[in-house]
């Protein structure tokens, strides 16, 4: 997830990101604030400022809420990106597991002012990359 400054002062931040299900298959992306889901998803539900992606009946891969102009809240996540598993909900802990099996347990995190909330590449995981 990447957050960039607004194109025009007083407008929303620009968000972009790629989201993959727990098997690493791309299921959703945001490009410059444009939300794009795939028809291969079992269900995509949008209500007011929230989006819920289900990969099967009752199995939520991602639930996010937008709180404009500058906040994106991950309510629930069960995803895999580049072999890194991200699992949890706003009501419990978030667990991030690397391909080697090491885990980071987080709870109630807020990342502000960073370009990337969670940045994953071949060298590792960075929280709040500027």
Distance of CA 79 to the CA centre of its chain: 9
Taking the domains of the chain in order of start, what are their residue ranges?
2-129
Cα distances (Å, whole numbers) of residue 46 to 13, 49, 71, 72, 93: 20, 7, 17, 15, 24
Distance (Å, whole) CA 85 – CA 79: 6
Q: Is the pLDDT of residue 70 over 70?
A: no
Q: Check residue 118 and give its pLDDT.
A: 77
pLDDT at 74: 84
Burial 115-128 (b: 16+ CB within 10 A, else e): ebbbbbeeeebeee
Q: Would you state the pLDDT for residue 87?
A: 92
User: Does the structure show a pLDDT above 80 at 1?
Assistant: no
Q: What's the pLDDT at 115?
A: 73
């Amino acid at each position: 997830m990447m957050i960039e400054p607004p194109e025009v002062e007083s407008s929303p931040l620009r968000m972009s990101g790629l989201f993959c299900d727990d098997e690493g298959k791309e299921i959703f992306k945001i490009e410059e604030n444009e939300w794009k889901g795939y028809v291969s998803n079992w269900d995509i539900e949008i209500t007011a400022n929230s989006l819920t992606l289900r990969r099967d009946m009752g199995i939520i891969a991602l639930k996010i809420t937008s709180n404009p102009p500058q906040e994106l809240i991950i309510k629930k996540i069960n995803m895999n990106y580049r072999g890194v598993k991200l699992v949890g909900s706003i009501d419990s802990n978030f667990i991030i597991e690397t391909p080697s099996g090491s885990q980071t347990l987080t709870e109630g995190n807020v990342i502000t002012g960073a370009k990337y909330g969670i940045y994953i590449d071949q060298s590792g995981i960075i929280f709040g990359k500027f």
